[in-house]
Amino acid sequence: MGFQFLVSNQGKHRLRWRGGLLLTAASLCALSAIPASSWAQRVRVNRYLSLQNVSGNVALQTGNSSRTAEVGDRLQSVGDGLSTGQTSVARLVVDTGIGFVDVSENTRMQIRRMDVAPDNGRITHFDVPQGQIRLEVRTFTHEGSELEIHTPAGVSSVRGTEFGVVVQPDGKMGVATLEGAVDTTAQDATVNVPEGFQNLTIPGEPPSPAVPLRDDPTLDFEIRRIIEGGNRRLQFVGRVDPVNLVLVEEESQTTDEDGTFTRDFLPIRGTQLQVTVITPLGTRQDYDVEIF
């Protein structure tokens, strides 16, 4: 029967912060988890998203081909998309100039629908199966205009606002609204997330009620030293705001409803873990946790 020693972050573990970065408004991005065969079913319309800025490893997916994305590239067909790698970001601008989307690292996205409404309004829908994006969209002037973000948990829709979305590996969706208002819809239920509020949607469940915006990338943690059957291991137990995205050694983590996650590793002296916390609005904090 195993036993464990608990050592909190007030103990022998030194925590170093490596600066905070706010990913500012606007640009679009990412690639989706739809099978490769689906990319061939492309529908082109007289609309596009243009890559305004690229940093790091960003891939452009068009049809059945993929290549390194470059400034000036356009996503102009249903199924076109982007994927960002570790420490990589991208920014796109909507053809009409109505808005931008900033796309964080380890994010995938593709165009789900890009059309023109009968009243000349612009209809723009994206699939974001994983990662974080932040959008800045001016108020629509046509009733037929639509902008929607589709995730495994539900849909976020706006008519002009500044907001951010996080999608965890298991599909949980965190939404935060800085200006305007966002509707989150899932399981035939819709919850409004007004300016200064945030909420969480879990796949298979209706959206949670909106709560005051925190935009807080704080990480709380403890290190558990575990011995089982003569084997020793360490377990990193972290906790963040449940709407946030967490990366450990650049790998996206799944948190529970309380924002708790765990990561096991071998008890090697001098082990260092790099943990990154990103809020739906793109506020980022990097932590270097050294184990003695």
- Give 290's pLDDT tier (boundaries 50, 70, 90): confident
Q: List pLDDT tens digits, range 151-171.
A: 999 999 998 899 999 999 999
Determine what percent of the chain is predicted with pLDDT higher than 90: 60
pTM: 0.81
Residues 6+ apart with CB under 8 A from 218: 240, 241, 277, 285
Q: List pLDDT tens digits, range 133-147.
A: 999 988 888 889 899
Average pLDDT over residues 100-119: 93
Using an 8 Å Cβ cutoff, are 240 and 214 in contact? Answer: no
Nearest 10 degrees: Cα torsion 64, 65, 71, 74? -20
Average pLDDT over residues 59-86: 93
CA dihedral for 170, 106, 80, 51, sign (positive or negative): positive
Q: List pLDDT tens digits, range 187-212.
A: 999 999 999 999 999 999 999 999 99
Structure tokens at 210: 């909106």
Residues 6+ apart with CB under 8 A from 185: 154, 155, 156, 157, 191, 207
Is the pLDDT at 271 greater than 90? The verdict is no
Tell which residue, 125, 137, 115, has the closest CA to residue 81.
125
Tell which residue, 145, 153, 146, has the closest CA to residue 128.
153
| Pairwise CA distance, residues 94 & 16, whole Å | 39
